Structure 1
């Protein structure tokens, strides 16, 4: 069975990344969101995540959090002690969520490692190709 996916972020980043992924790949029935609001703090964010994890039960789950060391990621890491089937990956980006939703990997550790690689590969400085003067850009 494919692992569940939880996106966690400060503010609406997780919600909007979820919406953008749905625009590209369609319904994400296997994913949920924890959007930390300023007033949530640590305990409010823990309560939001705990509600999802309790509902999901003993299912393998990957959390993709926005920022290593930030409250959403720290809350996810703390939950790993209670949920041995839980894996946390930081650096939330659209490429990771798209791949998580279309990947056929069912092993939670393999999927977490794969998403880490995808996330790293998605970050790249884009440079204009060098063109001869005669080539130019086509319109």
Structure 2
């Protein structure tokens, strides 16, 4: 599986670097940085340079509706087998790097987004839900 990670600025590269720091495993992650001077066509060109015939490709973008996402949809017109996921996060990439299947990793990352009411749970106290 080949994961293309795309976001605004250096977000995707930073996530890959942080994942390497935590897990040491980043072999299948390819970051793409969308910068101010780039056009959607420039993003598509970067995506195309990372697509390898025969590989399963997942493009994970920072959010729905941004240029990295829209460029992924444009690329998908030529490569309908490409899967697009929104919500690029360190939690998601860690889950994928340790071998979780995409659907499970997305669910785990989704579960990781919470409003935390306590800094720590003291032994003997009930946890807030």
**Do they superpose with TM above 0.5?**
yes
* CA root-mean-square deviation: 1.9
8 Å CA contact retained: 2:12, 2:31: yes
**SS of structure 1 residue aligned to 2:96:** helix
Any residues of structure 2 matched to 1:1-139 within 5 Å, and which? 3-53=1-51, 56-103=52-99, 105=101, 111=102, 113-128=103-118
Moved over 2 A (4+): 113-116
- The 1:57/1:130 distance shift into structure 2, 3 A limit, reads closer
Question: For structure 2, which runs of at least 5 residues remain unmatched after alignment?
Answer: none
- The 1:25/1:38 distance shift into structure 2, 3 A limit, reads same
TM-score normalised by L of structure 1: 0.79
TM-score normalised by L of structure 2: 0.85
Count of aligned pairs between the two proteins? 122
Question: For structure 1, which runs of at least 5 residues remain unmatched after alignment?
Answer: 106-110
How far, CA to CA, are the matches of 1:89 and 1:97 in structure 2?
12
8 Å CA contact retained: 1:6, 1:64: yes
Q: CA deviation at 1:28?
A: 1.2
